[in-house]
Amino acid sequence: MSSSTAPQAQRPLSSQNSLVEAGGWPFLITAFIGRLPAATVQLGLLLYVSGAGLSLGLAGITVAAVGLGSAVGAPLVGRLVDHFGPLPVVTGATLVQLLSLAALLLTVVNEGPTALILVCAALVGSANPQVGAIARAHWSGLARRRRQPRLISRALGYETACDETSFILGPVIAGLLVGLLGPNPALLTIMAWVIVGQGAFIVYLARHRTEHGAATVEETAAGGIGGISITKVVPPMIVCLCVGTVFGSTQTALTSINAIRGTEAYTGIIYGFMGAGSAVASILVSRLPERFPLSLRVAIGASIIALTCVGLLSLPGTPVIAALFVIIGVGVGTMLVSSFGRGERIAPSHRIASVMTMLTTCLVLGVSLGAALGGVLSVQPERGFMLTMAAAVVGVLASIALHITKPERPATHQE
């Protein structure tokens, strides 16, 4: 690197538009749009199967199959991205998703076997291209190349906010499509949405191949089988598992409360308050100074959730629950940004996507665990919130493990 370019590579990340300067608008826009289809498909299939005249029970199992497929496929997708680069992997995954959705549609229309519906749903989940994880890996690569440690902390906060926004918008899009168009046209529209959303990200990747390449032969050889320290990656995985359990348990407890009170229409709106709180916290936490280590941030976020659950155990009125869900969202956002931040710092340069997808997998498994246990416990809604509190307590314990396994601080990172 010449002396004329070195100062630019190491300049501090100070302006408010620094993410735009570093990543560029095409990346920011397409990476956000590219993750929306995945957030739309899961609820879309739930509404499609139930709206097509099949049982609600089968619809629920179909969604579970999507989640299980995603949990199994995510680590493989991450490893393939690290080895081949994101372009061929995202392209191939999108094709598999489209073929699986088409097969599911044909199976339902022709009254095919239930097992085939579930297989197609699992394939849809396993072919999730993990756009969020790829985006996080790209930010990490930029921060390491530019030697800008502040870039990754802000970027991870931004990415978590994008995830939360997609989790809010995705179900809304799915509900509108099925409600306005009917089951079969809605599923066809969702397939078109996959083409448009993920296709936009594919076009971006195709135009920026050099920035999103695979790991070099030297990096792969240096990393051995993975180059990932299990003792260091397990604590952030546990944190993500706890956050997912919070998501799943609060969903079921909130659904149960509103079903008892006859206010089912408020469920999605109130749950959206949690996403809003998480999105705001994700951006703010990423700007905290260095003296607040990631382990402390996780402990604070988990403590916020646990203490807020004390208020939820009394099953207050709808406005109070909405306010408390905003506070829980603050804790969730704090934990998520911190866990992904630790994952980025312990990941070798050629295994960043793998680590990010491992954390995403734990988040998905946590949602499934929380929803399953919460569904049993939430016959009495306060018991569902007790599960949320238990997940937060485990999160506090995980923060201790994060502190104990604190990695050595690389030159391009901050702890």
pLDDT tens for 338-387 read 898 888 788 776 777 788 888 888 887 887 788 778 877 877 888 889 99
Q: Are residues 256 and 365 in the same domain?
A: yes
Give the per-residue pLDDT at 3: 39
Q: Are residues 394 and 345 in the same domain?
A: yes
Q: Is 50 exceeded by the pLDDT of residue 139?
A: yes
Q: Are residues 143 and 29 in the same domain?
A: yes
Name the residue with tokens 């940004």. Answer: 337
Q: Are residues 287 and 242 in the same domain?
A: yes
Among 214, 243, 258, which residue terminates a domain? 214
Q: Does a structural domain hold residue 361?
A: yes
Q: Are residues 233 and 189 in the same domain?
A: no
Q: Are residues 235 and 383 in the same domain?
A: yes
Residue 183 Cα distances to 52, 113, 187, 288, 352, angstroms: 6, 18, 6, 46, 39
Question: Taking the CA atoms of the chain, what radius of gyration do you get in angstroms?
Answer: 21
Q: Does a structural domain hold residue 321?
A: yes
Among 189, 214, 239, which residue terminates a domain? 214
Q: Does a structural domain hold residue 101?
A: yes
Name the residue with tokens 């993750």. Answer: 35
Number of domains in the chain: 2
Among 214, 236, 268, which residue terminates a domain? 214
Q: Does a structural domain hold residue 291?
A: yes
Q: How far apart are the first and last CA of the chain?
A: 27
> Can you give the pTM of this predicted structure?
0.75
pLDDT in tens, 48-101: 887 788 876 777 788 778 888 888 888 888 889 888 889 999 999 999 999 999
Q: Are residues 203 and 248 in the same domain?
A: no
Q: Does a structural domain hold residue 16?
A: no
Q: Does a structural domain hold residue 347?
A: yes
Q: Are residues 234 and 192 in the same domain?
A: no
Residue numbers of the domain that contains 300: 225-404
Q: Is 70 exceeded by the pLDDT of residue 184?
A: yes
- The rounded Cα 288 to chain-centroid distance in angstroms is 22
Give the per-residue pLDDT at 312: 94
Q: Are residues 288 and 398 in the same domain?
A: yes
CATH at 44:
1.20.1250.20
Q: Are residues 244 and 354 in the same domain?
A: yes
Q: Are residues 114 and 233 in the same domain?
A: no
Q: Are residues 206 and 310 in the same domain?
A: no
Average pLDDT in the chain: 82
